[in-house]
Structure 1
Amino acid sequence: MADLSDFNDLAGRAGAGAVAEQIAEAIATHQADGKKPTKRNGASRGPASSMYVPGDPEEYRGNRLLLQRASDIAPQPIQWLWPQKIALGKLTLIAGDPGLGKSMLTASLAAHVSTGRGWPAGGGACPIGDTLFVSAEDDPADTIRPRLDAAGADPRRVHIVTGVDSTDTKGNPERRLLSLKRDLAAIVEGVRSLSGCRLIVIDPVSAYMDGADSHNNAEVRGLLAPLSELAREIGAAIVAVTHLNKGAGGSALYRATGSLAFVAAARAAFLVTRDKGDPDRRLFLPLKNNLANDANGMAYAILETKGVPFVSWEDAPVSISADDALGRPEEADHENTLADAAEEWLRDVLAGGPVKSDDVKQHAKDAGYSWSTIRRAQAAIGIKPKRTGGAGAEGRWTWSLPEGEESNQMPLMPIE
């Protein structure tokens, strides 16, 4: 038994207890003499904190867990930008269809922060501070600044990111769009140069993913985890804006464009939608809130001053849920609605060019579509899979939009 180095073999022959015994023996030996445990079958078992596990790559064997005793952690209350809604030091997501005033809403948030005026409907005090605005869809001069003025913001406390000075792959200077992959350190530096940043707006978050696949859960998590850590480090609320997909049925949580990891990474998420009973009324409703038990939403209208639109909040909260506001399709229409949504989703996935069929299948699974639904959408659009690379093991099937439907969007990154 002592000669076995494969824990699976050992467990199969002698049971899990024998594995535990061997591990305990190695740890005890190491602790007793401060030396590395003896080799077994020629493989050094290393120190207890980097114990050899058969099949574990060499470069991972020195990895160690970082442990912190709970009793050594001082409890801290949640700090709020907007009490019970948007927390400082956390990532918040706002999702909605185009044309509903999401960018005007973020201008309103910046106005509250820059002046310290209280939140609407008795929503509590707002800490005064600076806002960092990252916006790819609106021009700073003719759109963002006028909307900030219309919202009553102090423009001296709002700072708009217009690009990043960097170097290209050849070492030449370049000015480019901010990247959430490459520029977190630059964001920290920029924030620390301000007197007291309380809010960072990223609108839309998909514009700054630097080629990451927005339909891939792992890639989205890899991008948003450092962003969440950044929020915690600088103590500012990060509000990321995204669009809605055309899915129907099920929870409103699944309507945020791209991977569900967007909603999962955010500590709070809100839906912006039109009131079905009043086309001029907009609803700002909670999709999720991991930090507070707040089920109430808000309502607002888009008014104008000197031809510039701004958000006018109502004086009372609303209790309608996001699911009810979006509405569920009638059962008889559900299949047709789902088919339309799947077609639009598939066009979005293939908009940047050919995608491996295995990747399409994984994206569909992540988005909550069955493979049979996607196959029907494929046939409806007229997508004809093509095999590239020959008929052998190196060949692969790819999906592409029919000629004439391609766009200039950046292609999706492959799933590893």
Structure 2
Amino acid sequence: MENKKAEWKRSEPELKLINMESVKVEQIEWLLYPFIPFGKVTIIQGDPGEGKTTMVLQIIAKLTRGEPILLNKKSQKEAQQDSEENLKQEVLSQDNPIQPVNVIYQTAEDGLGDTIKPRLLAAGADCSRVLVIDDREQPLTMLDVRLEEAIMQTKARMVVLDPIQGFLGTDVDMHRANEIRPLMKRMAVLAEKYHCAIILIGHMNKNSNGKSSYRGFRSIDFQAAARSVLIVGRLKDEPETRVMCHVKSSLAPEGKSVAFRLGKETGFQWIGEYDISADDLLSGDARGQKSRIAKEFLLDILADGGMAQKKIEEEASKQGIKKKTLRNAKQELEIDSVKRGNQWFWILSE
């Protein structure tokens, strides 16, 4: 009996207290502000075929070349016009490394030679900096020691598991919190220990509710462990336009939704900020309706000739059309801006 008590005492963890006075304040470093932080876990989710993987491969391509991920596409003339029109176009900023970095990309669905590499090449990636753990003999899981060994060996600044469901292990039930928590804890520890951004890509469930909070993974512990959660989806009335929406941001204010175009002819192109929420995106019609109304408004109000921008904005506001939606519609309709005296006029292109 005494031996059992002694053994029990030895198994008890030693009490250690951390005094917050001694804790140093640390600044968050960002791969892409405010969407993807270094040293943390980010989840990117959406329905199959919505462009999640393509978007991430585009980000990987930029990182391997040490280039900015999101660029302000405006010409110098357009920027000057916006300045004189007092439009505050926000530049999508980031703190990604100046030098090219290594990335670990693991896929459980797509072929490396026939799918992933062609996409990387199309995105202009330096493929010598994209590493894959060979798991053909033994499938990789989130608890696999090879994952940490690969991060150490490659010094990767970004690690992607695509999709997360393919790296849980055959014995893990996504419905059970006690089975998911150790996996997500392991990802968080690795991200912090090696100061890399870990991105988990996942398919959403088929809940018809449409609410983003109900269409994530089956266990809430996935999102609870992630510091940033993004949703990618397409616009119902504009199938080539996809949008990335922020649904959780623990380290910074939620970022404004960002759109990109994914077309057979044009390929991948960042568009910029879009006025749409995650719930509206998932419902499938809100953004298309707003865009359609704005376009119809502009075509109607400019049908008889140019009009001062200020007057257009005033009339649009009366109809509940936001400035950002109005500008997106102007861009899509390729409406010209012409300065007359001290005012800017919008004119339909001939």
TM-score, normalised on structure 2? 0.69
- Counterparts of 1:218 and 1:59 in 2: how far apart (Å)? 26
Partner of 1:64: 14
Q: Where do 1:262-273 residues align within 5 Å?
A: 262-273=222-233
1:248, distance to aligned residue in structure 2 (A): 3.1
Partner of 1:319: 275
Q: Which amino acid in 2 is paired with 1:197?
A: A
Identity %: 30
SS at match of 1:148: helix
SS at match of 2:199: strand
Alignment pair present for 1:113 and 2:63: yes
Q: 1:139 aligns with which of 111, 124, 133?
A: 111
Partner of 2:309: none
Partner of 1:292: 252
Q: 2:200 aligns with which of 235, 240, 243?
A: 240
1:259, distance to aligned residue in structure 2 (A): 1.0
- Counterparts of 1:259 and 1:290 in 2: how far apart (Å)? 19
Sort the Cα spacing of 1:326 and 1:62 in 2 relative to 1 into closer, same or farther, 3 A: same
Q: Which amino acid in 1 is paired with 2:161?
A: I
| Residue-pair matches, total | 261
Partner of 2:179: 219
Unaligned runs of 5+ in 2: 73-90, 286-350
Q: Which amino acid in 1 is paired with 2:167?
A: Y
Sort the Cα spacing of 1:251 and 1:160 in 2 relative to 1 into closer, same or farther, 3 A: same
Sort the Cα spacing of 1:137 and 1:60 in 2 relative to 1 into closer, same or farther, 3 A: farther
- Counterparts of 1:214 and 1:266 in 2: how far apart (Å)? 16
Checking the alignment, whether the CA contact within 8 Å between 2:230 and 2:248 is kept in structure 1 is yes
Alignment pair present for 1:90 and 2:40: yes
1:289, distance to aligned residue in structure 2 (A): 0.7
Cα deviation digits, residues 192-245 of structure 1 (max 9, x gap)? 212x41110100011111121111122111211111111100111000011111
Q: Where do 1:177-188 residues align within 5 Å?
A: 177-181=139-143, 183=144, 185-188=145-148
TM-score, normalised on structure 1? 0.58
Q: 1:201 aligns with which of 153, 160, 177?
A: 160
Sort the Cα spacing of 1:299 and 1:59 in 2 relative to 1 into closer, same or farther, 3 A: farther
- Counterparts of 1:156 and 1:83 in 2: how far apart (Å)? 26
- Counterparts of 2:10 and 2:120 in 1: how far apart (Å)? 50
Output the aligned Cα RMSD: 2.5
Checking the alignment, whether the CA contact within 8 Å between 1:135 and 1:161 is kept in structure 2 is no
Checking the alignment, whether the CA contact within 8 Å between 1:295 and 1:319 is kept in structure 2 is no
Q: Where do 1:11-410 residues align within 5 Å?
A: 58=8, 62-120=12-70, 121=72, 122-125=91-94, 126-127=96-97, 128-163=100-135, 175-181=137-143, 183=144, 185-194=145-154, 196-210=155-169, 211-249=171-209, 251-304=211-264, 310-314=267-271, 316-327=272-283
Partner of 2:318: none
Sort the Cα spacing of 1:189 and 1:101 in 2 relative to 1 into closer, same or farther, 3 A: same
Checking the alignment, whether the CA contact within 8 Å between 1:304 and 1:310 is kept in structure 2 is yes
1:60, distance to aligned residue in structure 2 (A): 8.1
SS at match of 2:141: coil
